[in-house]
Amino acid sequence: MTKIRNWKARSPRLLLGVALLATVAFRGEARADQFTANLVSLQGGGAAQAVIHIDHYTSDQERNKLKSKLAAKGPDALRDDLWDLESGYIRIDGGLGYPIAVARSQPAANGGRVIRIMIDRPLSFRELASNARSADYPFSYIELHLDRNGKGEGTMIPAAKVTLSGGTTDVEAFGPVPWRLLNVRAR
């Protein structure tokens, strides 16, 4: 019989290490980021302060699972799956945070990175009851371009349609001009 020495002293650290590894393997990159930005609508001229908080980044495995769902069952099934995911939140003008379903970070050529975010946007009762065309655009999409210091800019498509063509995910905006995220800074 093998005797384990100092099990009580080591077990909390061991359990914490196993839990962290399991979290990284299951949930993606376990790196938390927070950004602030000025959100500007070029059509309506409105501006707001946005906070984007990412608890963790979506793994390749989870991304592939979502792409497969989109290819096999379409955007409604994808939206149902996104509803159950939460990678962080976005808060606009100090309001309640709305959950971010998917967040991906990739290195950029300038030494910085590109962060892509997908949100299953809330559809208003008015959109659904009147069968508005905007209800066919149930997602929001954000893309941030950051330099190596965590500063940059981005775009937000508040109402988007997502399709898959030839293995590439296409994002179509409901409006003619996406919103701009200016003065993006890591906090």
Split the chain (187 residues) into runs of 10 and give each run's mean pLDDT. Answer: 36 34 42 92 85 95 90 85 90 90 93 94 79 82 95 94 84 88 94
Answer yes or no: pTM beyond 0.85.
Answer: no
pLDDT for 18: 33
pLDDT for 1: 39
pLDDT for 16: 34
Q: 22 in a domain, yes or no?
A: no
- Give the span between the Cα atoms of 67 and 75, in whole angstroms: 10
Q: By the 8 A CB rule, do 180 and 155 touch?
A: yes
Q: 180 in a domain, yes or no?
A: yes
Q: 20 in a domain, yes or no?
A: no
Q: 102 in a domain, yes or no?
A: yes
| Sign of the CA dihedral with 169 first, then 174, 180, and 185 last | negative
pLDDT for 99: 92
- Give the span between the Cα atoms of 117 and 142, in whole angstroms: 5
**CA distance readout (Å), 5 to 1, 9, 15, 101:** 13, 9, 16, 43
Q: 100 in a domain, yes or no?
A: yes
pLDDT for 155: 95
pLDDT for 71: 87
pLDDT for 30: 58
Domain count for the chain, please give it: 1
pLDDT for 57: 96
Domain enclosing residue 159, as ranges = 31-186
pLDDT for 44: 74
Q: 165 in a domain, yes or no?
A: yes
* Phi–psi pair at 90, nearest 5 degrees: -125, 135
